Structure 1
């Protein structure tokens, strides 16, 4: 059985080849992303394609995959907004994902971004390297006693809530599904507009859907406290970048940490250090001293990559063998 990987990096090859010792798939790794430009190059007889966040599985691409005999589309991530699920269903192609590879990895990265922005450790590091030990401009605030708003309390959001409770924060949450265990731990559930109104810090941990596209924009920003800190490790389309830039200019947002960006497929996972980047919005964000941007690395831990490889190969094997009993239910999308 053959799996073709798209948007493949050296670390993908390392972890999937190591895990494949238990399965003996034929693995083929392509650096290019999957889209209309390359789909027709897939050879007939490919059983599955394994894709990542920047791959674009439109209806046209899925139609070509069906012609090639592809039976499974495996996302080695949790999000699936880049796949036309209706088209996959129409052509009888199964779609699976990794719903919970390492919630702690992403939650811990969100906390790292928050701490870095607050205590300005990135600036202190650069100063000391230049033998500047001045503390001017490095003042932060105690997290203890602050109100943290968590939007989305799935596995990642829940992990983030628990960490913030450990810091002694008041944690407010918004989610269509209330977690009784989080409530018992001290998390208070409120409607979205009330959470963002009360919070000193807001962290996004929800999937991107048509309903919550630009969840954070001028309207929601205007209801927040002046000087709020916003962290996004979920999906770039949750925030309206240009309206967030305006909020940074006015001080409505005191700090912004993003590991995702709406136009990230043109930027992230690439070395563009010798290039002129034409995206004015990302250039503007990078220029702000109170903005921290990381390139979709929140998932990037040894434990997460090992779990992604193990979960993906197991699910693909079960789907190709038409044996879904052992698959976690929310891993199968179609």
Structure 2
């Protein structure tokens, strides 16, 4: 049994090596992505581990099947960029890491919101310019706000607990409600109801075709004037040009975006010597009421270790037993 891992980062390497030593199973790590040029590197391996939010190669599972691969383990949660039917038809099991660290993402989302509420981006710029005046950038207290949480899985529930700790009123919407939260009467019945009541909207949901551009001009118009929007989920949930317009006219007071619809050419790349070609993204970066981070909400030591270990444990389990606790299909 042996595995190959693509997009293996330096911070993951110690965990790959530790798992390899503990299990006496070869794990080949590759820095580059899994694409049409690297697919042939999977020949002779029982399992493939991948971590990329962008597009995987066309007919990838057909090729992996021919190469003898039995299991495809992603080191993250979302499978929206995988053709699961193709994997199934080729007899390849797909696993994910459903909970590498819900607290990491929940904590980060709250941290970003707190910066927006206290205008730290603006004050950082003003201090750098030696302008030490306060007005007119008065802040807001979280305990006085209503936070609308979309998605109440592990991450959403962790965020709810943190917001409650601040004393905020929390409401939620999920197409698959949590029974305990349901008993507490936390849920509203629709997106529209959540939009109308929330001072803050934070998204902790998967991306589905139905929710593509959930945040757009029409839905933003249903929100309170001066709402804050937090997205640590998926970039495709937001129509960015519509959000930019609302940020400029004041309908949206601020946004914290850890993900962006067209992030693959940008995030986790050193582009300091290059001019950004994405004009929408460039316009977003110019706004003082926006915090953009390069998909790092998950990025803690605990999460990185769990992503590597759980993905490898899952691949091993599938090869040995034909199944795993983290099976997607």
Q: Shorter-normalised TM-score: what interval?
A: over 0.9
Post-superposition Cα deviations, 1:157-198, rounded to whole Å, max 9, x if no partner, equal: 111111111111111111012223234566333311100111
RMSD, aligned CA:
1.8
Larger deviation, residues 114-123 vs 256-265: 114-123
Aligned to 1:8: 8
- 1:28 counterpart residue number: 28
The aligned residue for residue 163 of structure 1 is 162
- Displacement of 1:261 in angstroms is 0.6
Deviation at 1:299, TM superposition (A): 0.4
Q: How far apart in 2 are the matches of 1:182 and 1:110?
A: 20
Give, in whole Å, the separation in 2 of the partners of 1:234 and 1:37.
29
**Closer, same or farther in 2 for the Cα pair 1:297/1:242, shift >3 Å?**
same
Matches within 5 A, 1:1-334: 1-40=1-40, 42-125=41-124, 127-128=126-127, 132-183=131-182, 187-324=186-323, 327-328=324-325, 331-334=326-329
After TM superposition, give the deviation of residue 242 of structure 1 in Å: 1.2
Supply the distance in 2 between the matched residues of 1:74 and 1:165 (Cα, whole angstroms).
Answer: 35
Gap runs ≥5 in structure 1: none
Distance 1:178 1:54, change over 3 A: closer
Report the secondary structure of 1:50's partner residue: strand
Cα gap change, 1:272/1:137 in structure 2, threshold over 3 Å: closer, same or farther? farther
Q: Give SS of 2:304's match.
A: helix
- Any conservation in 2 of the 1:171–1:188 contact (CA below 8 Å)? no
1:226 counterpart SS class: coil
Moved more, 229-238 or 122-131: 122-131
Aligned length in residues: 329
CA contact (8 A) 2:42 2:69 kept: no
Contact 1:172 1:190 in 2 (8 A): no
- TM-score, structure 2 normalization: 0.94
Q: 1:275-332 CA deviation, whole Å, 9 max, x = no partner?
A: 11100111010000100000000000111112112211111110011253xx43xx21
SS of 2:209 mapped into structure 1 = coil
Q: Equivalents in 2 of 1:323, 1:37: separation in Å?
A: 29
Partner Cα separation in structure 2 for residue 135 and residue 19 of structure 1: 52
Give 1:8 deviation, angstroms.
1.9
User: How far 1:15 sits from its partner (Å)?
Assistant: 2.3
Q: In structure 2, how many angstroms separate the alpha carbons of the residues matched to 1:120 and 1:242? A: 22
Displacement of 1:252 after TM fit? 1.1
Q: Distance in 2 between matches of 1:183 and 1:23?
A: 42
Structure 2: unaligned runs, 5 residues or longer: none
The 3 A distance-change label for structure 1 pair 300 and 185 is: farther
Contact 2:7 2:32 in 1 (8 A): yes
Q: Distance in 2 between matches of 1:177 and 1:105?
A: 23
Task: Show CA shifts across 1:237-267 (max 9, x none).
Answer: 0111111111112211110110001111111
Distance 1:11 1:170, change over 3 A: same
